[in-house]
């Protein structure tokens, strides 16, 4: 059998598995690491998860790892702690040499400004492993699309951060050279140069197609196809080589209505991506009755095939052959006094579809309310689901219902530009005859030392801006996958501390630096953060709906997410189990039904008091008409 390059011995050093949430990235990455370690016992391999909602240890479960395979699930908290332990003294010395801030200011600023996000911690650790060269190959299970792109953008972020630190040293370096004639590099210069060299070598590796490959994993569904095409374009722009695509969970050919409908739908979805990415090889894996865990992982690649790109397209799908909408145990519709409705869950479980369907149902039931459908997922897809072009500003869907896919990074860049313009105006009008070249550069770079993730938090507080201004009565949120949603909800503590320190600096040095526009914006952010935290914990106004699918792994992740939300004081209103398989005379489908029934028993035991709705497999619920039907079936009105 011919295997793809990432499963063979060769020059590959780094292999990323990425794609939309829920497509099987973790399974493919884990199965790859196991096969390589088993086939090549003379080499050492490392399997790494950069997704905050880790799955690889759940997938491996009781399986004993080969001795030449190391498995790590990166912890951003642990990585940050280790980073600070190693470099804290050097970073503070850099800051102390280069600014007018005193030691207490520097201590506080560095404690909150050091990188603390998953992608940054992951990037720095991977770069270090590559430099140490202890592994023949590193296999990386990435987070869902939006946050994988942030990981790939890390060189730019860290480069900007290093420039900010280098700027702090520039004044001291100039004084030492000008007055003392000392042009030698000292230990801090060497520290920054070493870190920059590490970044350069990592970036060089990532754009080397002989040593680094990105494997795009997908399932044959229309919304997944749209996101996969966008990801492929982003990879090309970053010059990261995407060698192969894996189409996972292909339904077998069968006379069964469920199988036939799924098979036809998959062909129609694949047609678009094949035409967009025709130069790539598409490998296939079939839908399996049992989840590929433990021993099944070791034989997963024996099921590998190559997709025939000349797909025989189905004729127009008749209404008799379609899977009709079916929902069991519909749940109560949120009351009209609700302010915030959040759909949360693992990637790929259908949050976007259910958020869109819910917003349409709410608008139909409460036509007097102004409702906003809002996406916090960096890989937005509500536009694809609605069949509309949704902007980063509120976009009209129908009367009294708007949608918004916010661009957090672009919004924060606008704040940076505004800040620099305000700084220029201040220096021009207030200190026109004073040469403060080095301090000016430090001030220009001040926002580059803000905590990573400030942009996402500012985007999230847009929700409070909409509610506080009275523009909307209710907001339905299509949340980022669970790991990043939880991180986002925990971030306000870090941001609050940074804001407190930033405000104290502005107050302490108000005779030297004054930024009224920035101050006003940060005061507003602080207020909205506080109001958001209060709203999230107000159960009469906020409803979180957990979405999952009937697999053991998905249920495990759902349980972890609900416990984490409860620790934050946020309660779950209901659980929606999506993509249930309808009963069938087909032996294959019935075997899946039996497996799902076993999983359901476990869910009812875990959540005995939680309303649970079951949404069965159906035709793609895209477009307003199909989404309205889903919303009607999913909910019962409060008075019913």
Q: Where are the alpha helices (DSSP H) in 575-637?
A: 587-606, 624-634
Q: Residue 265: enclosing H or E segment and its boundaries?
A: helix 257-276
| In the predicted structure, residue 61 carries a pLDDT above the cut 80 | no
The reported pLDDT for the residue numbered 624 is 92
Query: pTM of the predicted model, to two decimals?
Result: 0.77
Question: What value does the CA radius of gyration of the chain take, rounded to a whole number of Å?
Answer: 26
92 with 45: CB under 8 angstroms? no
DSSP 455: H
| Section 46-68 average pLDDT | 82
Q: Which residues pair with 398 in a beta bridge?
A: 401
**pLDDT higher for 122 or 603?**
603
- Of 473, 60, 627, residue with least CA distance to 296: 60
- Cα-based angle 205, 211, 213 (whole degrees, multiple of 5): 95
> Mean of the pLDDT values across residues 205-211?
90
Separation between Cα atoms, residue 101 and residue 105, nearest integer Å: 6
Identify the residue whose tokens are 């678009």. 272
The predicted structure's pLDDT at residue 640: 47
Distance CA 182, CA 23 (A): 58
pLDDT in tens, 249-303: 998 888 888 888 888 888 888 998 998 898 888 999 999 888 776 677 778 898 8
More confident position, 382 or 494: 382
State which of 49-53, 149-153, 329-333 shows the largest mean pLDDT: 329-333
pLDDT at residue 119 in the model: 60
Higher pLDDT, 112 or 497: 497
Given a contact cutoff of 8 angstroms between Cβ atoms, the answer to whether 284 and 267 are in contact is no
pLDDT interval class at 104 (50, 70, 90) = low
**Phi, psi at residue 457, to the nearest 5°?**
-65, -40
Phi, psi of 343 (to 5 degrees): -105, 120
**Residue pLDDT, tens place only, 604-627:** 999 999 999 999 987 777 789 999
pLDDT average, residue stretch 190-213: 84
Residue 116: per-residue pLDDT: 43
Q: Which residue has the higher pLDDT, 219 or 532?
A: 219
Average pLDDT over residues 188-204: 79
- CB neighbour list of residue 170: distance below 8 Å, 6 or more residues apart: 98, 438, 441
Q: Which DSSP string do the residues of 418-453 spell out, in sequence order?
A: HHHHHHHHHHHHH-TT---HHHHHHHHTGGGGSPTT
Residue closest to 34 by CA, chosen among 302, 212, 216, 297:
297
* Burial bucket for residue 411 (CB in 10 Å: 0-12, 13-18, 19+): middle
* pLDDT (mean) for 485-489: 72
pLDDT tens digits, one per residue of 439-480: 566 566 666 656 666 667 777 788 888 998 999 999 999 987
* pLDDT: which is higher, 372 or 195: 372
Which long-range contacts (C-beta less than 8 Å, at least 24 apart) are formed by 180-187? 187/90
The answer on pLDDT for 167 being more than 90 is no
Q: Note the pLDDT of residue 466.
A: 92
CA angle 331, 335, 339 (to 5 degrees): 115
What pLDDT was estimated at residue 130?
84
C-alpha to C-alpha distance for 456 and 378, rounded to whole angstroms: 9
Cβ atoms < 10 Å from Cβ of 271: 15
Name all domains of the chain by residue range, CATH numbers in brackets. Answer: 10-80+120-159+181-306 (3.40.50.300), 327-408+540-636 (3.40.50.300)
| Confidence category of residue 517, pLDDT binned at 50, 70, 90 | confident
Whole-angstrom CA distances from 170 to 80, 92, 199, 442, 467 are: 26, 15, 21, 9, 45
Residue 127 has a pLDDT of 82
Q: Give the Cα separation of 23 and 480 in Å (integer).
A: 15
Average confidence (pLDDT) over 185-211:
81
Task: Give the single-character DSSP code of 277.
Answer: S
Give the separation between CA 334 and CA 329, rounded to whole angstroms. Answer: 16
- Give the pLDDT band (50/70/90) at residue 542: very high
pLDDT in tens, 582-599: 888 888 999 999 989 988
Residue 80: is its pLDDT beyond 50?
Answer: yes
Give me the pLDDT at residue 615, please.
Answer: 95
Render pLDDT for 346-379 as a digit per residue (tens, 0 to 9): 878 889 999 999 999 999 999 999 999 999 877 7
- Average pLDDT score, the chain: 81
């Amino acid at each position: 059998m011919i295997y793809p390059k990432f499963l063979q011995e060769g020059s590959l050093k780094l292999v990323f598995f990425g794609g939309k949430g829920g497509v099987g990235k973790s399974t493919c990455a884990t199965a790859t690491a196991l096969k390589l370690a088993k086939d090549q016992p003379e080499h050492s391999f490392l399997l790494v998860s950069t997704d905050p909602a880790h799955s690889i240890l759940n997938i491996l479960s009781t399986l004993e790892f080969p001795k030449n395979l190391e498995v790590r699930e990166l912890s951003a908290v642990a990585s940050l702690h280790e980073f600070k332990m190693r470099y804290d003294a050097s970073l503070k010395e850099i800051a102390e040499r280069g600014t007018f801030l005193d030691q207490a200011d520097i201590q506080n600023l560095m404690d909150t400004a050091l990188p603390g996000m998953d992608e940054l911690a992951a990037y720095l650790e991977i770069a270090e492993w590559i430099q140490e060269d202890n592994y023949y190959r590193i296999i990386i299970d990435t987070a869902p699309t939006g946050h994988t792109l942030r990981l790939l953008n890390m060189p730019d972020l860290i480069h900007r951060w290093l420039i900010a630190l280098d700027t702090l040293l520039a004044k001291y370096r100039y004084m030492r050279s000008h007055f003392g004639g000392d042009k030698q590099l000292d230990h801090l210069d060497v520290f920054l140069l070493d870190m920059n060299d590490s970044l350069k070598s990592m970036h060089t590796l990532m754009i080397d197609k002989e040593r680094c490959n990105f494997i795009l994993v997908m399932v044959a569904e229309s919304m997944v196809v749209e996101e996969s095409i966008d990801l492929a374009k982003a990879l090309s722009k970053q010059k990261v080589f995407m060698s192969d695509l894996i189409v996972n969970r292909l339904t077998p050919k069968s006379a069964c209505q469920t199988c036939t409908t799924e098979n036809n739908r998959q062909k129609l979805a694949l047609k678009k991506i094949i035409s967009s990415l025709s130069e790539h090889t598409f490998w296939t894996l079939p839908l399996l009755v049992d989840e590929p865990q433990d021993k099944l992982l070791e034989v997963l690649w024996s099921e590998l095939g190559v997709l025939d790109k000349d797909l025989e397209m189905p004729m127009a799908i008749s209404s008799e052959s379609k899977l009709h909408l079916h929902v069991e145990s519909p749940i109560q519709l949120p009351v009209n006094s609700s302010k915030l409705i959040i759909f949360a869950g693992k990637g790929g479980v259908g949050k976007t579809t259910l958020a869109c369907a819910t917003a349409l149902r709410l608008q139909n039931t409460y036509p007097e309310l102004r409702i906003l459908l809002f996406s916090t997922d960096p890989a937005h897809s509500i536009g694809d689901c609605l069949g509309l072009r949704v902007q980063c500003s509120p976009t009209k869907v129908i009367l009294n219902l708007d949608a918004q896919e916010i661009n957090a990074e672009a919004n924060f860049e606008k704040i940076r530009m505004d800040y620099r313009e305000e700084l220029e105006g201040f220096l021009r009008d207030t200190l026109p005859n004073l040469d403060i070249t080095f301090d000016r550069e430090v001030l220009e770079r001040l926002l580059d030392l803000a905590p990573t993730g400030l942009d996402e938090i500012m985007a999230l507080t847009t929700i409070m801006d909409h509610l506080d201004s009275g523009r909307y009565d209710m907001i339905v949120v299509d949340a980022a996958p669970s790991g990043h949603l939880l991180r986002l909800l925990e971030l306000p503590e870090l941001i609050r501390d940074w804001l407190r320190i930033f405000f104290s600096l502005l107050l302490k040095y108000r005779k030297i630096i004054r930024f009224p526009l920035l101050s006003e914006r940060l005061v507003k952010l602080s207020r909205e953060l506080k109001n958001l935290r209060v709203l999230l914990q107000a159960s009469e106004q906020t409803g979180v709906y957990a979405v999952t699918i009937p697999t053991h792994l998905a249920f495990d992740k759902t349980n972890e997410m609900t416990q984490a939300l409860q620790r934050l004081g946020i309660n779950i209103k209901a659980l929606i189990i999506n993509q249930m398989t309808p009963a069938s005379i087909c032996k294959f489908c019935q075997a899946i039904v039996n497996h799902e029934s076993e999983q359901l028993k476990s869910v009812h035991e875990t959540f005995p008091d939680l309303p649970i709705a079951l949404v069965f497999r159906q035709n793609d619920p895209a477009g307003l008409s199909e989404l309205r039907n889903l919303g009607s079936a999913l909910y019962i009105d409060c008075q019913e």
